[in-house]
Amino acid sequence: MFSAYRLIDPTSPYRSLCRHFALIWQMAKRDVVGRYRGAFIGLLWSFFNPLLMLIIYTFVFGYIFKSRWVGLTGGHVSFAVILFAGLNINAMFSECVTRAATLIVENPNYVKKVVFPLDTLPWSTLGSALFHLIVSTVVLLAISVSANGYIHWTVVLFPIVMLCFIPFLVGTMWLFASLGVFLRDLKQAVGIITTALMFLAPIMYPRTMIPTQYQSLMLLNPLTVIVESSQDVLVWGRQPQWGLLGLYLLCSCLFAWLAFAWFERSRKGFADVL
Amino acid sequence: MSSEMFPEDLSIYADCLSKRYEIYAQPADRLKQMLLPRLLRAVGGGEQKYFREFWALRDVSFSVMRGETVGIIGRNGSGKSTLLQMVCSTLHPTKGSVRVRGRIAALLELGAGFNREFTGRENVYLSGLLYGIPEGELRKRFKAIVDFADIGNFIDQPVKTYSSGMYVRLAFAIAAHVDADTLIIDEALSVGDVRFTQKCMRYLREFQQRGTLLFVSHDTTAVINLCSRVIWLDSGRMIMDGAAREVVEQYLAAQHAADRKSLGENVALGPVASKGRSTAKSDVGDHGVPTDIVDSRMGILNGTAMRNLVEVFEFDAVNINSEFGAGALRIQDVRLREESGAICHMAHGGELVDLEIEARVFEPVKSPIFGFFVKDRLGQRLFGDNTYVSYLDEPIEGEPGEKLLARFRFRMPILPTGDYSIDVAVATGTQDDHTQQHWIHDALTFKARESTMRHGLVGIPMHAIGIERIEGGE
């Protein structure tokens, strides 16, 4: 029963998504609704949260630091929008990874007491993160419309960009969820990793602003391609760099496959240390 | 799972199943164990272990046919839970393998699969999905599940607010409605109230008609009632696998032997006071002096409310809480009589009473031993006795169909206010090596009221009480 997935099959990471979709959906739904249960304005938090963050970032970087985005016209609001496009990606990554590190540790019953498809836990976490990303994106588009009066047709390409991002995210979660069981320090390190990746991605500044010799180095940051592609389709109204995105998708899938294989191998050890 | 190796009518097949728990000092050692030995082997280095080991199960092999009900018994720590967890595949066998056909529903621990923050309703759906029931189908069965669990409006409360009884009711209700081919029950039923336990037993009996049942319980009576076959585990090894009654009998015998060894003679049929052959001459001791002692206050107290009143509840053969035994003799009635011979409903502390135990013989027995214990509310054994020494020289034999009556006459002690019960038992053999044929826990219960006693467990009659002035004042 354990080796129901054949690890040499590169589509194996997505098998459980199909097989347990109803379960994943329920868990994700519960996660979204449950997070704000008891809060006065409830689900509205997922709307206000990004909005308030956006105001703070715009104030700090736009007004105080007077950051300017090369080639961008339209003042603070435009700056806010492009900042927002990148921050959303980082927020999603950060939510996924932070929770991944404790995903298994916090659910020992699922490991020891019941037969639970543990590999679905990252999927449901991803589902709830995706919900928050969608809300944030809607906020972004709304601000865009109110500032410019239109949105670019290229926003329809945004789901494709996300599709390339997802294998990387879920792979990272498998990896961190598994390592988090054995290396309890990981939880502490995650905060630093996500913050570092935020500042080392072209979120608050364009990639062109850094010295040319380091520009391609920045592509090693797994967020870079996705952040730039999101900015392309949501803010600039141009098509993403398909070649780069395609390569990213390839790496992303390869990574997810390896991470999944690792997760499935290492899960046998979970019960021994929980 | 290769099904070609797996006959159609086989439900569970365990082959040399062994589990070694690897106990790691820190979680990171588990990671090292996963990676380093392989690396070291690759470079030709020596082996190193990062854990201490503990074998919870060793080379257990058995197979269960479809539709069979198998009980698993054993003391705590004998490997029962480990075995079940491997059958449910929440645990990996270290060696050997186990294969199971079809869907398993397991009640291993109180609603362990529940998410405590979720409501009962949400947990029903989650658990159902985990069992692989489609959502639409779940919606159809939802009402039946809630009706079975009978927890009312709590279904929309988070399960963290549930009592343990409600927890297990909901968990059982779900397991009962997932069309499992194999059901695994581990002690779960002991938590619910009587009505729910009855409902579960009814369900289990009905389930036995169509599915495979694995039942773990310390209640050997329930095991015998439900199971045709029993597996007895001890220290991770299979001791016996056979007909239910036979295995349980052996198991209980071993248990008693172990108990006596560890607790001295205070357990089972305990120490025997010198008592006459028949109750008639028991009031006279070895020296011909009446040894019966009457509390000196009896005369004063008897007329007052301070008298120690003992209210006795009748023996109810149908509603026995818990019993066990091999069954060669069965206790059919237990009663307390007053000195006059009338059935006693109210005894008084300090009065003579007869405890009578009536048993029918089902198989020929040599030297049956009757015994009893009086226990307090907490189950502490206050006093008790048996017939062993009294009949040492001329053992009574019993033939099937005969009825034996044992009588113990004693003064009802003065007891502190509270609830008491009497365990009665009949065994065969000797003091040191016997088989319990029938043991009934709490066969009689009684209440003591209006006691002059406040402290201590049992009051003893005072020969005399007095205050003297031994030195005059000024």
Query: Domain map of chain A by residue range?
Result: 12-273
Query: Average of pLDDT values for A104-131?
Result: 87
User: What digits encode the pLDDT tens for the residues A179-221?
Assistant: 998 888 888 899 999 999 999 999 888 888 888 888 888 889 9
B90 Cβ under 8 Å from any chain A Cβ: yes
pLDDT score, position B371 = 92
pLDDT score, position A2 = 40
Q: Measured between beta carbons, which residues in chain B are less than 8 angstroms from residue A273?
A: 24, 27, 30
Q: Is the pLDDT of residue B303 over 60?
A: no
- By Cβ distance, the residue of B30, B112, B118 closest to A109 is B112
Is 0.85 exceeded by the ipTM? no
Q: Which residues of A touch B (CB under 8 A)?
A: 1-2, 20, 22-23, 26-27, 30, 34, 109-117, 179, 181-184, 265-266, 268-269, 271-273
Query: Average of pLDDT values for B121-132?
Result: 85
Of A15-24, B238-247, B307-316, give the lowest mean pLDDT range.
Answer: B307-316
Give the gap in angstroms from C-alpha A270 to the nearest C-alpha of chain B.
9
Q: Is the pLDDT of residue A66 over 60?
A: yes
- By Cβ distance, the residue of B31, B109, B126 closest to A26 is B126
Q: Which of B1, B26, B30 to mutate to test the interface with A (most CBs of A within 10 A)?
A: B30
The answer to whether the Cβ–Cβ distance between B112 and A114 falls below 8 Å is yes
**Percent of the residues in chain A that have a pLDDT greater than 90, as a whole number:** 39
Give the gap in angstroms from C-alpha B114 to the nearest C-alpha of chain A.
9
B33 Cβ under 8 Å from any chain A Cβ: yes
pLDDT score, position B283 = 39
Q: Measured between beta carbons, which residues in chain B are less than 8 angstroms from residue A183?
A: 27-28, 31
Q: Is the pLDDT of residue A3 over 50?
A: no
Q: Measured between beta carbons, which residues in chain B are less than 8 angstroms from residue A113?
A: 90, 108-109, 112-113
CB–CB of A267/A116 below 8 Å?
Answer: no
pLDDT score, position B190 = 63
User: What digits encode the pLDDT tens for the residues B131-174?
Assistant: 878 888 889 999 999 888 888 888 888 888 888 788 888 888 88
User: How far apart, in whole angstroms, are the C-alpha atoms of residue A239 and residue A253?
Assistant: 22
pLDDT score, position A59 = 84
The dihedrals phi and psi of B107, each to the nearest 5 degrees, come to -115, 80
If you write DSSP's letter for every residue of B360-379 in order, what string do you get?
Answer: EESS-EESEEEEEEEEETT-
At B207 the three-state DSSP class reads helix
pLDDT band at A5 (very low <50, low <70, confident <90, very high): low
Taken in order A179, A181, A182, A187, is the CA torsion positive or negative?
Answer: positive
Q: Measured between beta carbons, which residues in chain A are less than 8 angstroms from residue B31?
A: 179, 182-183, 266, 269
CATH class of B283-449: mainly beta
User: How far apart, in whole angstroms, are the C-alpha atoms of residue B400 and residue A181?
Assistant: 63
Query: Average of pLDDT values for B349-370?
Result: 88
pLDDT band at B433 (very low <50, low <70, confident <90, very high): confident
Which residues are CB-neighbours of B401 under 8 A, at least 6 positions away? B360, B361
CB–CB of A227/A201 below 8 Å?
Answer: yes
Q: Which helix (H) or strand (E) holds B83?
A: helix B80-87
The answer to whether the Cβ–Cβ distance between A23 and B130 falls below 8 Å is yes
* DSSP category for residue B413: P
Q: Is the pLDDT of residue B185 over 70?
A: yes
The answer to whether the Cβ–Cβ distance between B92 and A2 falls below 8 Å is yes
CB–CB of B310/B447 below 8 Å?
Answer: yes
pLDDT band at A223 (very low <50, low <70, confident <90, very high): very high
CB–CB of B74/B234 below 8 Å?
Answer: yes
**Percent of the residues in chain B that have a pLDDT greater than 90, as a whole number:** 8
pLDDT score, position A230 = 94
Give the gap in angstroms from C-alpha A21 to the nearest C-alpha of chain B.
10
Give the gap in angstroms from C-alpha A176 to the nearest C-alpha of chain B.
13
Per-residue b/e over A139-168, b at no fewer than 16 CB within 10 Å?
A: bbbebbeeeeeeebebbebbeebbebbbbb
Q: Measured between beta carbons, which residues in chain B are less than 8 angstroms from residue A112?
A: 85, 90-91
pLDDT score, position A50 = 82
Q: Is the pTM of this model over 0.95?
A: no
Q: Which of B1, B35, B90, B119 to mutate to test the interface with A (most CBs of A within 10 A)?
A: B90
**Percent of the residues in chain B that have a pLDDT greater than 70, as a whole number:** 82
- By Cβ distance, the residue of B33, B109, B117 closest to A113 is B109
Q: Taking the domains of chain B in order of start, what are their residue ranges?
A: 283-449
Residue entry with tokens 């938090």: A45
Q: Is the pLDDT of residue A96 over 90?
A: yes
Residue entry with tokens 């003579």: B352
Query: Average of pLDDT values for A154-166?
Result: 93
- By Cβ distance, the residue of B1, B27, B113 closest to A114 is B113
Q: Which of B13, B87, B126 to mutate to test the interface with A (most CBs of A within 10 A)?
A: B126
User: How far apart, in whole angstroms, are the C-alpha atoms of residue B125 and residue B103?
Assistant: 17
- By Cβ distance, the residue of A27, A110, A271 closest to B91 is A271
pLDDT band at A222 (very low <50, low <70, confident <90, very high): very high
The answer to whether the Cβ–Cβ distance between B30 and A272 falls below 8 Å is yes
The answer to whether the Cβ–Cβ distance between A111 and B90 falls below 8 Å is yes
User: What digits encode the pLDDT tens for the residues B320-329?
Assistant: 667 788 888 8
Q: Measured between beta carbons, which residues in chain A are less than 8 angstroms from residue B51?
A: 272
Nearest to B187 by CA among B168, B166, B209: B168
Q: Measured between beta carbons, which residues in chain A are less than 8 angstroms from residue B27?
A: 181-184, 273
User: What digits encode the pLDDT tens for the residues B34-85?
Assistant: 787 777 777 766 667 778 888 888 999 999 998 899 999 888 888 888 888 8
User: What digits encode the pLDDT tens for the residues B387-416?
Assistant: 888 888 877 888 888 899 999 998 888 888
B126 Cβ under 8 Å from any chain A Cβ: yes
Nearest to B114 by CA among A100, A31, A109: A109
pLDDT band at A227 (very low <50, low <70, confident <90, very high): very high
Q: Measured between beta carbons, which residues in chain B are less than 8 angstroms from residue A266?
A: 31, 34
User: What digits encode the pLDDT tens for the residues B246-279?
Assistant: 888 788 778 777 766 664 443 333 333 333 333 3
The answer to whether the Cβ–Cβ distance between A20 and B89 falls below 8 Å is no
